[in-house]
Structure 1
Amino acid sequence: MNRLPDTGRSYWMQTADLPSFPPLSGAVEADVAIVGGGIVGLSTAWELARAGRSVVVLEADRVAGGVTGHTTGKVTALHTAVYDTIREKHGDDAARRYATSQSAALRHVIEVSGELGTDCELESRPAFTYCRDPEGVDALRAEAEAARAAGLSASFVTASGLPFPVAGAVRVEDQAQFHPLKYLRGLVEDVAARGGRIHEGTRVTQLDDGDPCVLSTESGATVSAGHVVVATHHPLFDNALLATRLTQHRDLVIAGPLPAGQDPGGMYISQEEGKRSVRTSPLPDGRRLLIVTGEAFTPGTGEDIEAGYARLLAWTEHHFPGFSIAHRWAAQDNSSTDTLPLIGRLPTNGDHVYVATGFAGWGMTGGVLAATVIASLVRGDEDPWDGLYDPGRVGSALRSAPTYLKAQWEVGKHFVQDRLETLGDGINGPAASLRPGDGTVVRAAGRPCAVHRDDEGELHAVSAVCTHMGCLVAFNNAERTWECPCHGSRFGIDGEVLQGPALRPLERRDPGEPDEPDHRPA
């Protein structure tokens, strides 16, 4: 088996050459302030700058360096097996509007890249949702019928370009794939040319949703704006408790050059085997880069992530002989409990704050779609999809009550059970036995403490209590991060926020050897 490379920046981030932007300083004003510089934020900025609005984009780290920078770059309206579910939960009309809106987003990507002359390696490919187990065939037949009834060019097939037999698949023609960051580079350059301001290294910590809205940042700089767009994957400033309607998952990704003649000629995904997603991308030397995604897991549950990478690599090497891994990374996504994304005005935050989240791993079409919806609302136009994605919707949420209650049960279970296990029997054993590169959560001075031993043997200790809503974090041994199982916040080994919804870092603790678990109940 090939040796796993170090985790780090994705292939997209290594090859996009995005411009850099200074942090925000002082107090500025704009028509629209956008929090988050991923595909939602940058696409929204472009739509509004093109319409003559002054925009300011505030990104905590690097533009497109978060969820967008770790995608697989599929631009498709076939989202695994979603149409039969939407039809059942929301009705036939909702399924048609979903298909029409996602297809419109796909066409918009093609039109925008053409208008800007962006070389983003855009390629037309069929998309497949497949199964290898014959027991899954009936569900895929139903999905093919539902997708076709919704307006997609969908069919049920039993043949594919994959190097192994499939029991069945839904095939949709004329979908697309691209280099997501090269596409966003075109938007960034055009936004800047139109006078839009983009600021990196600028973490927003507070929103006053008055008139105007005022955003405050970690450095003390502020932005006053008539409208605010919260484009942070998991929504910040969540007075409407949208977090209770979202579930989190991460997927592992490996990529490397593919031997000639093995390109499967499409985009493939299956929920079997812990999820398997396969596509290729052009390389400068004429070869194809194979990108395989899978081993989905909930962040913060303490799973052995390195073992997941090993399983994914073994699967890929078995099915694509001669594959050589060159990159690995992980992607985080969230899904709404009623299947549809949440796009529009943020409930309870007035009429001038907007949000986009819950794309369930399909953020390329979802993000572009969200930008067009939010830009329409900011301009005072009607929602082009008649409230299908409205975050304030009630009826569909009630119909999805079992999924919602299950999600809340999982959050409550982690909040209570993790404390009992950590402060009683401990998780993974005492800190004294940590090997270099490992981490664990133990009792230290009577409090839950997250401890990591680095490669030089030095201990790093921070509070294990997530600063979002108080759940306990767990260690990700592949990325060497602390992750919250309740709402997906992620932190570095010294507590810095890597991914929200948490706004504040984990409190640092004495890095000396922590106490052993003392076996007393919390």
Structure 2
Amino acid sequence: MNRLADTGESYWMRTAALPSFAPLTGAVEADVAVIGSGIVGLSTAWELARAGLSVVVLEANRLAGGVTGHTTGKLTALHTAVYDTLRSKHGDEAARMYAASQSGALRHVIEVSGELGIDCELERRPAFTYCEEAEGVDALRAEADAARAAGLDASFVTETGLPFPVAGAVRVEDQAQFHPLAYLAGLVEDIGALGGRLHEGSRVTQFDDGDGDGDGDGCRLTTDSGATVTAGHVVIATHHPVFDNTLLSTRLTQHRDLVIAGAVPAGQDPSGMYITQENGKRSVRTSPLADGGRLLIVTGEAFTPGTGEDTEAGYARLQDWAEQRFPGFSVAYRWAAQDNSSTDTLPLVGRMPTKGDNVYVATGFAGWGMTGGVLAATIIASLVRGEEDPWGGLYDPGRVGSPVRSAPTYLKAQWDVGKHFVKDRLETLGDGTNGPAEDLRPGEATVVRAGDGPCAVHRDDQGELHAVSAVCTHLGCVVAFNNAERTWECPCHGSRFGIDGEVLQGPALKPLERRDPTEL
């Protein structure tokens, strides 16, 4: 597969009509400050602005340009095979509450779209979790039973709209898909009309949570330019939570999925949303195009960022799979999406433990952040308004959960972090993971041992070397190179950096320190 130049910009980002906003300057005050402008941040800001509170949204980069801008845009309560897991880990009532809350979020998007007149290409479609191999059928039968018991209109089927046979599938009726950034553009317009303020290019680098009593003077945020916001409440909506001194990071695992998209005739539309864990995960949906055709969106090749995966080879496998199953398909877009999952399956939404009653967080959506993000906004908005959590603390970040059933996942996550922290440092004692820096060809990268620690070196297409510290500025793990996106990524908590060290994705707040490549 030939390498495409624009591996970073998704179809949603390319076609969205989101306005631009100036960075924050000076000192401002607000009832609520929201850090992050994805679906969680903007949905929360809209809920609170509609309730009459003054809101400031601070975005480090582009509006909705992080995880939300690179999603697949599915609005569904069928989350692969979550219900059988939920009832075994947390019980039948938790599974029912999960189904009801996620379905409620789906309906909320539909209602808000109608209320605000947002044209976000909303389409009602069934959702499927399928398998091609007979070995997966029993698990899907159990999932269909668990999803139906949880209250979803679910059934086990052997026929789908896919152009290839399946051994079995869970089908849930009346789900939806949409253009996520078109939806958020509608929210942004209304936030402005309600008096909310939005600022791009405003990375929050300092956070003083004060006394945490929510009395209006408890929190002070400082951006990288020195501008400040004083707020009574703060919402941390940054995917992986920044300013995490509550060790939520220890309860999260990271994964990244590759995405390809291209036009297919309307007759090849499988008329649904599909996902399987086979073949390194595959997810399929389509989106309408202006010429009457459909954009086929295929996701998969899940991997942990920062582990040195050959992402170019992953794209090739994904493209081969799509071309074999959808004849005539060719890649027009490719990008990648990053997600995190909690070690006990349920997202973490609500008051941030140890931060006081006026600091809130939402994370751990396991790839289902569209319904999860809208749900998180309604939960946090209720808490900010002084109301009860509408879901009884099911998603509370401070929950104890089911430690025995969740312990293996939790312990594995901590083992993986510890392994990378120690092992990756030892491996850089040699000449590097891809050989000495001087032997790099254009497009290649390596990590080498320099005098002051591991050094990440990349040679760009023009032959110029770029060198930065290889030590992640979050908690000190050693980064590895993503050869398709040409980024440095941390294997411990998923922070991502450009070739010159700039922060692309947190939880890291500071760039990798630049090094002089001539001194290596």
Task: Compute the TM-score of the two structures, normalised by the length of structure 2.
Answer: 0.98
Q: 2:400 aligns with which of 391, 394, 402?
A: 394
Q: Secondary structure at the match of 1:400?
A: helix
Displacement of 1:446 in angstroms is 5.0
Distance 1:132 1:184 in 2: 36
Segment drifting more, 440-449 vs 344-353: 440-449
Q: 1:462 aligns with which of 459, 465, 468?
A: 468
- Whether the 8 Å CA contact 1:243–1:487 is kept in 2: the answer is yes
Distance 2:403 2:345 in 1: 10
Displacement of 1:399 in angstroms is 3.5
Distance 1:405 1:51 in 2: 42
- Note the 1:511-522 alignment, pairs <5 A: 511-512=517-518, 514=520
Whether 1:250 aligns to 2:247 is no
The equivalent of 1:99 in structure 2 is 99
Q: 2:289 aligns with which of 283, 287, 297?
A: 283
Whether 1:337 aligns to 2:328 is no
Displacement of 1:10 in angstroms is 0.4
User: Could you say if the C-alpha distance between residues 3 and 474 of structure 1 is closer, same or farther in structure 2, counting changes exceeding 3 Å?
Assistant: closer
What residue identity is the alignment partner of 1:265?
S
The equivalent of 2:146 in structure 1 is 146
Q: Secondary structure at the match of 1:109?
A: helix
- Whether the 8 Å CA contact 2:430–2:448 is kept in 1: the answer is no
Displacement of 1:207 in angstroms is 1.1
- Whether the 8 Å CA contact 1:5–1:326 is kept in 2: the answer is no
Q: Which digits, 9 at most, give the CA deviation of each residue in 1:131-157, with x for residues without a partner? A: 011111000000000000000000000
The equivalent of 1:519 in structure 2 is none
Distance 2:452 2:198 in 1: 44
The equivalent of 2:155 in structure 1 is 155
Q: Secondary structure at the match of 2:243?
A: coil
Distance 2:519 2:230 in 1: 47
Distance 1:507 1:232 in 2: 23
Displacement of 1:171 in angstroms is 0.2
What residue identity is the alignment partner of 1:178?
F
The equivalent of 1:517 in structure 2 is none
Displacement of 1:447 in angstroms is 1.6
Distance 1:197 1:347 in 2: 27
Task: Compute the TM-score of the two structures, normalised by the length of structure 1.
Answer: 0.97
Displacement of 1:513 in angstroms is 5.9
Distance 2:229 2:501 in 1: 27
Whether 1:185 aligns to 2:191 is no
Flag as ranges the 4+ runs of structure 1 deviating above 3 A: 1-6
- Whether the 8 Å CA contact 1:337–1:397 is kept in 2: the answer is no
Q: Which digits, 9 at most, give the CA deviation of each residue in 1:25-77, with x for residues without a partner? A: 01100000000000000000000000000000000011100000000000000
The equivalent of 1:77 in structure 2 is 77
Q: 1:220 aligns with which of 226, 232, 236?
A: 226
User: Could you say if the C-alpha distance between residues 33 and 96 of structure 1 is closer, same or farther in structure 2, counting changes exceeding 3 Å?
Assistant: same
Displacement of 1:430 in angstroms is 1.2
Q: Which digits, 9 at most, give the CA deviation of each residue in 1:181-218, with x for residues without a partner? A: 00000000000000000000000011111142111111
Segment drifting more, 253-262 vs 197-206: 253-262
User: Could you say if the C-alpha distance between residues 308 and 513 of structure 1 is closer, same or farther in structure 2, counting changes exceeding 3 Å?
Assistant: farther
The equivalent of 2:504 in structure 1 is 498
Distance 1:281 1:126 in 2: 14
- Whether the 8 Å CA contact 1:260–1:287 is kept in 2: the answer is yes
What residue identity is the alignment partner of 1:133?
E
Q: 1:296 aligns with which of 289, 296, 302?
A: 302
The equivalent of 2:447 in structure 1 is 441
Distance 1:446 1:16 in 2: 44
The equivalent of 1:137 in structure 2 is 137
- Whether the 8 Å CA contact 1:432–1:513 is kept in 2: the answer is no
Percentage identity across paired residues of the two chains: 83
What residue identity is the alignment partner of 2:391?
W
- Whether the 8 Å CA contact 2:266–2:292 is kept in 1: the answer is no
Segment drifting more, 429-438 vs 356-365: 429-438
Q: Structure 1 regions of 5+ residues with no counterpart?
A: 515-522
Distance 2:442 2:67 in 1: 28
